[in-house]
Structure 1
Amino acid sequence: MKPLQAIILPLILIFTQSSATSIKNEDVFIGELFHIRITSKTFNWTTETLTEQFSYRCSKKGHADLPRWLNYMYSKEHHSGYLFGTPPIELADQTVPIEIVALNEETYDVKRMIVNLVIARKEPPKSIVQMKIDNLNWIHMLQAGRVENLKNIFRHELWRESMSDLRLVFMDSAIKLGARRPVNPQESEGVVVHLGSTSPFSMRLLELQKEVKPLYKMPSCPFKRTSVETLFESSGFKLDWCSFRIIDEAEQNMQQKQHFRHSENERHTATNLSQTKIWEPLSKDDLPERNYSDELAISIAVPGVILTLLIALLTVILCFEHVDLDEKPAPTVQMVHYNTLNNQPTTTLKSLRDITPTHFVDDISLRSASPSGSLFIDNSPLPAIRPLPPPYSSKKHIINH
């Protein structure tokens, strides 16, 4: 229902409480699923075409919602609402009034109907078969003939002992029970179905249980095939065998005990909460005040002191570095004096041709006696730049040449 409808509908109901309300009785049985289809014809509204101008709201009379064992869902495909559920054994021989309110969204005409669910006793099923059908939605299982086709598979093939009292015990959307929505919106969401009977399980059902039991560790297995796959596919049912279970009477009793224990715990918790003292919230004056001045001073002073120490340390390092540079002595420059050698005419080959032997010998003797005749020059750190020519052996050898 749209948010605007949720606001307008209760306001309209206030002014229509005194209007005529139709009453209808519906017989239902313990442990057997029933469903009631709600359409515009239920409230004597005639329309030429099926539209979504009508909306419906169901609740227990005098309450804001339905009981836990009842569900209401609206089908856009059929433009109808469906009220369905399975009465529990605790409500045997009782009447549960259900109020249905219909709203015409074009004219805002409101009509009310009271459906009295007269719950009759019936032996509850002792054996239940649980299955999940992937290729159908919950609305498909409420169509005429769909449930009968599913029952016939068990009556004639898998569970012939249940021929007399096989019934639909439970049905709900797989998405509502925790399954994932399909990736493709055009695909079916799946539906969970329980079939029950007072008869014990057949040997074929027990063998099928053993066959699919290794699959229980997997959350879903739509591609798994079993020995009875053709029986279901021929009738238009595609089962998820990971969700196939058979539940006997002992397991049902265990589940009922757990449910009863859970209900008792909830009731006990509610009683304790009602007996405990109601908590009263604190007033504004009782709330403690917090002084932020000390925290602000600390947050500013500590970083300031650290920054000051770092600046002082950096200043000292830079000052001492400059003092070391100023105190270093200047390096002494050693001047090297080079003595230039006078190039004598005798050092060239051309001059040797014009020199007389006597003069040449005298010159050699003079050079050998002079300071420049040695390999190193006195008072000079460097050797002579030009090497001396080799000495001649004798005068005679020089004259012959």
Structure 2
Amino acid sequence: SEGTTRMYTILSKVHSDHTVYPSAGVLFVHVLEREYFKGEFPPYPKPGEMNNDPITFNTNLMGYPDRPGWLRYIQRTPYSDGVLYGSPTIDSVGRPSVIEITAYNRRTFETARHNLIINIMAAEDFPLPYQAEFFIKNMNVEEMLASEVLGDFLGAVKNVWQPEKLNAINITSALDRGGRVPLPINNMKEGVYVMVGADATFSSCLREVENPQNQLRCSQEMEPVITCDKKFRTQFQIDWCKISLVDKTQHVSTYQEVVRGEGILPDGGEYKPPSESLKSRDYYSDFLITLAVPSAIALVLFLILAYIMCCRREGVEKRNMQTPDIQLVHHSAIQKSTKELREMSKNREIAWPLSTLPVFHPVTGEIVPPVHPDSYDNTSMPLMQTQQNLPHQTQIPQQQTEAFLLPSAFCGGQVFQS
């Protein structure tokens, strides 16, 4: 389209410089083609195979870790071309910028470097007085930077606007404006903002967005009614609620000229340096206060504790002399009994004590002889034998039925039955 300039940059050999001359206020696009950089790396695959190595690029201003503020870079995947784009500012006019372009081969880990010299030229019609920014929903920034797509969009805008001069000023991804990454469904796009400038006033079609009816529809999240939307709808889906129209001719500048001083501080009097005959400070008293006094107190406390723990101890003999004899005898008996119990617990083969066995038969009253330890297993013998284990056990006759029971007579707390 008229007024637009597209620059094709072809890099030459390794470490070679290439110079471009973009205009201030006009969109600058520089494509880093992978096909060209493939020639910088030797083809290691077998003959007949396609060499499609993943290649990424790193761009920075020479001597700095990043690019200039107006220059951006994007590469979607290692198998797609990289693009440098942006809108040069008027402040950079006359100052050449050297951009270092480093290509990385992710298969062979080899690198190749080129230098791109950007000389920004001043535009005679900068800035264009009428600027409009469109938001295209069905495009990504790298798709919009393609010459064919950008040319089609500028052609549609020129058909609607009818200016004599029309330039693409800037292109910005919606992600750089705070947009969210779209879901990976239905081939959704991130969206892109495209700003164009012209030398003619806005057409009636573009002014339709400012109508109260369309403003109301936009506030209700409805699409406004734009008559010229069909000229874009075939290829570009424009969100007319986000269009921005700026008229530079009616813009009142609020810039105030800054009066810079000479960089000299106000006079504060004559400088008086400190005297050369300074007395040295004595730190002996500070040493005594901070180190010697706490150390002396700690030493005294240590000596007192050592005297209490070592010199004030009472021996066993002194303790026994001060203890009553009856208490010592009682304590000796307890120790003797404890020792005897421990000795008995060690020997499990001795006979059970007679006190744990029954002395007489619970029914007949006969005297039961003590159980000899050799005839039974002592380890499994119960302390109290039940009636089933007792010898000469006499069975008690059980009552047959309640019909043969006679009335009982209670006499002196005893029960007699016939």
Q: In the alignment, what sits opposite 2:230?
A: 230
Q: Is the 1:52–1:79 contact (alpha carbons within 8 Å) kept by the matching residues of 2?
A: no
Q: How many angstroms does 1:49 deviate by?
A: 4.8
Within 2, Cα distance between the matches of 1:29 and 1:53? 33
Whether 1:167 and 2:161 are equivalent positions in the alignment is no
User: Which residue type is aligned with residue 148 of structure 2?
Assistant: G
Q: Secondary structure of 1:103's partner? A: strand
- Residue equivalent to 2:245: 246
Q: Which residue of 2 aligns with 1:149?
A: 152
Aligned partners of 2:116 and 2:95: how far apart in 1?
A: 13
Q: Kindly tell me: are residues 49 and 201 of structure 1, through their superposed partners in 2, closer, same or farther at Cα, counting changes over 3 Å?
A: farther
| 28 and 224 in structure 1: CA distance in 2 versus 1, 3 angstrom threshold | same
Structure 2 unaligned blocks of 5 or more = 1-12, 44-48, 259-418
Question: Any conservation in 1 of the 2:132–2:245 contact (CA below 8 Å)?
Answer: yes
* Structure 2 CA distance for partners of 1:54 and 1:227, relative to 1, 3 Å: same
Matched residue, 2:6: none
AA matched with 1:206 = R
Residue 201, structure 1, aligned to residue 229, structure 2: no
For the residue of structure 1 that corresponds to 2:206, the secondary structure is helix
Question: CA separation in 2, counterparts of 1:210 and 1:202?
Answer: 14
**What is the match of residue 85 of structure 1?**
86
C-alpha contact (below 8 Å) 2:73/2:83 kept by paired residues: yes
Q: Which residue type is aligned with residue 169 of structure 2? A: V
In 1, Cα distance between equivalents of 2:91 and 2:217: 32
Render the CA deviation track for 1:103-141: whole Å, top value 9, x for unaligned.
Answer: 112222111111001111112221111110001111111
Q: What is the alpha-carbon distance in structure 1 between the residues aligned to residue 233 and residue 17 of structure 2?
A: 43
Q: What is the Cα-based RMSD across aligned positions, in Å?
A: 3.2
> What residue in structure 1 maps to residue 29 of structure 2?
35
User: In structure 1, how many angstroms separate the alpha carbons of the residues matched to 2:207 and 2:233?
Assistant: 21
Letter paired with 2:195? H
After superposition, residues 2-401 of structure 1 pair within 5 angstroms as 21-43=15-37, 44-45=39-40, 49=50, 51=52, 53-76=54-77, 79-122=80-123, 123-124=125-126, 125-156=128-159, 158-160=160-162, 162=163, 164-185=164-185, 186-210=187-211, 214=215, 218=219, 221=221, 223-234=223-234, 236-250=235-249
User: Residue deviations 1:305-345, cap 9 Å, x none?
Assistant: xxxxxxxxxxxxxxxxxxxxxxxxxxxxxxxxxxxxxxxxx
What letter matches 2:180 in structure 1?
Answer: R
Q: Distance in 2 between matches of 1:192 and 1:212?
A: 24
CA distance in 2, matches of 1:50, 1:190: 33
Q: Does the residue aligned with 1:153 lie in a helix, a strand or coil?
A: helix
Q: Distance in 2 between matches of 1:77 and 1:104?
A: 9
Supply the distance in 1 between the matched residues of 2:201 and 2:51 (Cα, whole angstroms).
Answer: 45
How far apart, CA to CA, are the structure 2 residues paired with 1:166 and 1:69? 21
Shift, 1:50, TM fit: 7.3
Equivalent residues of 1:30, 1:86 under 8 A apart: yes
Question: Is the contact between residue 134 and residue 238 of structure 2 (CA under 8 Å) also seen in structure 1?
Answer: yes
Aligned residues: 238
1:183 Cα deviation (Å)? 3.2
Q: 1:61 to 1:32 in 2, by over 3 A?
A: same
Look up the equivalent residue of 2:150 and give its one-letter code: V
Give me the whole-angstrom Cα distance separating, in 2, the residues matched to 1:83 and 1:222. Answer: 36
Whether the 8 Å CA contact 1:221–1:241 is kept in 2: the answer is: no
Residues 75 and 82, structure 2, Cα contact 8 Å, conserved in 1 = yes
CA contact (8 A) 2:223 2:241 kept: no
Instruction: Quickly say closer, same or farther: Cα 1:229–1:175, change in 2 above 3 A.
Output: same
Note the alpha carbon deviations across 1:325-384, whole angstroms, 9 max, x for none. xxxxxxxxxxxxxxxxxxxxxxxxxxxxxxxxxxxxxxxxxxxxxxxxxxxxxxxxxxxx
| 1:121 counterpart letter in structure 2 | A
Aligned-partner Cα distance in 2 for 1:50–1:221:
50
Q: Which runs of 5+ in 1 are unaligned?
A: 1-18, 265-401
Percentage of pairs with the same residue:
22
CA contact (8 A) 2:14 2:40 kept: no
Q: Where has structure 1 moved over 6 Å in runs of 4 or more? A: none
Question: For 1:81 and 1:88, how far apart are their aligned partners in 2?
Answer: 22
Instruction: Supply the AA of the counterpart residue of 2:137.
Output: D
Relative to structure 1, the CA distance from residue 252 to residue 23 in structure 2 (aligned partners, 3 Å threshold; closer, same or farther) is farther
CA contact (8 A) 1:94 1:119 kept: yes
Offset of residue 229 of structure 1: 1.9
SS at match of 2:230: helix
C-alpha separation between the residues in 1 aligned to 2:116 and 2:193?
27
CA contact (8 A) 1:168 1:194 kept: yes
Structure having the larger proportion of residues in helix: 1
Q: Over alpha carbons, which structure has the higher Rg?
A: 1
SS in 1 for 2:63: coil
Contact 2:167 2:198 in 1 (8 A): yes
Cα 1:70–1:29 shift into 2, 3 Å: same
The amino acid of 2:34's aligned partner reads S
Distance 1:239 1:175 in 2: 17
Mapped to 1, the partners of 2:40 and 2:213 lie a distance apart of: 50
For residues 103 and 208 of structure 2, the distance between their equivalents in structure 1, rounded to whole angstroms, comes to 49
Q: Distance in 2 between the 1:103 and 1:171 partners?
A: 27
Q: Tell me: CA distance 1:59–1:77, structure 2 relative to 1, closer, same or farther (3 Å).
A: closer
Secondary structure of 1:187's aligned partner = coil
